Amino acid sequence: MGAVDCHCHLAAPEFQEDIEDVLEEAKQAKVLALVVVAEHSGEFGRIMQLSERHPGFVFSCLGVHPVQRTPTGQERSVTLKDLDEALPLIELHKDCLLAIGEVGLDFTPRFASTDEQKEEQRRVLIKQIQLAKELHLPLNVHSRSAGRPTINLLKEQGAERVLLHAFDGKPSVAMEGVKAGYFFSIPPSITRSEQEKLVKHLPLESICLETDSPALGPEKQVRNEPKNIFFAAEYIAKIKGISLEEVIDVTTQNALKLFPKLKNFLCK
């Protein structure tokens, strides 16, 4: 059994030159499946092409991230207009999607300093939660400096199948998500972050693996790749005092529960 990378950005410009090599190396390293997420509608086309070229290996999620990049490269809080541009494209591809994502809340002060910005992020998230419910799809969720508001909103809106990726909140807040049946994915950067407590508290039955490639790698400033997923698995094994095999086995089973469509491809 191999690992499932539940959250990565393989349509990012960082992979434009050598994506096929990156995918081949992931396969060699025993990565079973790659769940690719979007940040904005401008990359939906590239994501769908990638999953069409690699059926059964690359799976697509489309959604609108709480932080958007302007044409000049600056980052800003999301607006309903960003979502309006994306919705027809999500509708167009809905039958080929594994989940809706990357969606969420990011209350980092430099992105969302005003109540209006936070409120608009909430509105964009609520619409995407409702869309996921209509389409019977899980949600691939980002939260930064907004762990509690994100989990509360998901629960309030009745979201059932949820992955909280690279969660930066308190373990006690994460446990509220566990109670709601949500999963938490751990990236390779866990080896250099201060989230040991989170891994300790989360039951293995609620943990998935991710890389968030090209971000959140084991080494700062170095491009992250899906093959690095095993850094996260090894760290979890060490913290929990269990074998690497058990971590990979259980997290892959968790990914299958979270993303039911994966079953059609991985369980033969």
* Candidate segments 15-23, 43-51, 72-80, 212-220, binder of Zn ion by CB under 5 A: 212-220
Is the CB of 120 or the CB of 210 nearer to Zn ion? 210
Is 54 annotated to bind ligand?
Answer: no
Is the CB of 82 or the CB of 212 nearer to Zn ion? 212
Size of the site for Zn ion (CB under 5 A): 2
Is 102 annotated to bind ligand?
Answer: yes
Render the burial of 149-186: b for 16+ CB within 10 Å, e for the rest.
bbbebbbebebebbbbbbbbbebebbbbbbeeebbbbb
Render the burial of 28-62: b for 16+ CB within 10 Å, e for the rest.
eeebbbbbbbbbbbebbebbbebbeebeebbbbbb
Query: How deeply is 267 buried, as exposed, middle or buried, from its count of CB atoms within 10 A (0-12, 13-18, 19+)?
Result: exposed
* Candidate segments 180-188, 193-201, 211-219, 249-257, binder of Zn ion by CB under 5 A: 211-219
Helix or strand run (H / E) with residue 148:
helix 147-156
Is the CB of 149 or the CB of 214 nearer to Zn ion? 214
* Candidate segments 89-97, 101-109, 145-153, 236-244, binder of Zn ion by CB under 5 A: 101-109
Tell me the residue number closest to Zn ion, measured at CB: 212
Tokens representing 98 are: 């594994």
Is the CB of 5 or the CB of 102 nearer to Zn ion? 102
Residue labelled with tokens 């929990």: 240
Closest CA to 157 of 175, 184, 134: 134
Is 75 annotated to bind ligand?
Answer: no
> What are the residues facing 3 on neighbouring strands?
31
Is 142 annotated to bind ligand?
Answer: yes
* Candidate segments 75-83, 87-95, 210-218, 246-254, binder of Zn ion by CB under 5 A: 210-218
Q: Enumerate binding residues for Zn ion (CB under 5 A).
A: 102, 212
Residues annotated in a binding site for a divalent metal cation: 7, 9, 102, 142, 165, 212
